[in-house]
Amino acid sequence: MRKLLFVLPLLLTVALLLACQGPAGEAGPAGEDGRDGRSPTQAELVSLVNEALTDRLAEVQGPPGSAGPLGPKGDPGDDGSPGAMGERGPQGPQGSQGAQGGAGPRGLPGTQGPAGAMGLQGIQGPTGEDGNLTIVAPTANLSGIDYDLTVSRNNWVSILSNPITLEKPGKVFAIVSTTASFVCATNLQCNHDFTLALNTELEDPGDSRQVQLSRILRSWDIPVSMAKTFSLPAGDHTIHLIGFNDGTIGPLLKNTTLTVFYVEDPPASTGIL
């Protein structure tokens, strides 16, 4: 609108000059700028008006125009340098349980367990050869006295003995019988472990008989019988019933007897029928 206000008077002026232009007059004197004094032609007048409009329009700034169309996309720039390392993140959740590992090496053997219960009596041995038995000495007994094997205290002791004399080398057969009696405190378990043997010395002959009882809760009476054959030289000998107690309390041995026989071998066969 402002441009129109400036341009419109100029246009009217130009139009008026063109309408009122008469015949060309004589040329006037030259101006100070060196131009001649003749009247301008129509083309020169239009040029002057355009020049004036251009100068005037340069002084008047109009409103900004609308944005032009978007130019073509430029080439991608160079890659930027890597940024600084970020801070360490929080710890993640616990993972799931892994598979079971292989079996480890075999462990050391455990300590020995408690002694088991007494086993069953063994089968009867084969029948020996027939022979004549002669009592060598009167049967020895404890005369109604109960022998407390607690006195053993992990040593072999003589419970009952029977001395004999042989006029010549030979065999003797010793047989013993007794009753082992056990007593436990009321409502308490107790264990007993003892050994009996027949020998001519107060030491383990290697063929002793061991008796073990575990976790008994009341009194027990167990009959015990054993026998053994000795091959002895002529002279004086003593056959002992010996005992060894492993526990702190031993059994009471009741009604104990020891009998020794001399064994006469049967006569040799002559082969005559």
pLDDT in tens, 142-171: 766 889 988 988 899 999 999 999 888 989
Q: Are 156 and 242 in contact (CB under 8 A)?
A: yes
pLDDT in tens, 43-82: 776 777 677 666 665 565 667 778 778 878 888 888 888 8
- Please tell me the distance from the alpha carbon of residue 123 to that of residue 244, in angstroms, as a whole number: 25
CATH architecture of 132-264: Sandwich (2.60)
CA distances from 105 to 110, 124, 240 (A): 15, 47, 53
Partners of 165 in the beta sheet?
Answer: 236
pLDDT in tens, 224-268: 999 999 999 999 999 999 999 887 788 889 999 999 988 876 555
- Please tell me the distance from the alpha carbon of residue 37 to that of residue 139, in angstroms, as a whole number: 191
User: In the chain, where are the structural domains located?
Assistant: 1-16+42-56, 132-264
Angle at 23 between CA 17 and CA 25, to 5 degrees: 100
Q: Are 239 and 138 in contact (CB under 8 A)?
A: no
Q: Is 5 helix (H, G, I), strand (E, B) or coil?
A: helix
Please list the helix, strand and coil fractions of the chain in percent, rounded to the nearest 5, in that order. Answer: 15, 30, 55
Angle at 202 between CA 200 and CA 203, to 5 degrees: 100
pLDDT in tens, 32-46: 555 555 666 777 767
> For the whole model, what pTM was predicted?
0.48
pLDDT mean across residues, the chain = 75
Task: Compare 76 and 273 and report the one with higher pLDDT.
Answer: 76
CA distances from 89 to 7, 21, 115, 218 (A): 72, 92, 64, 74
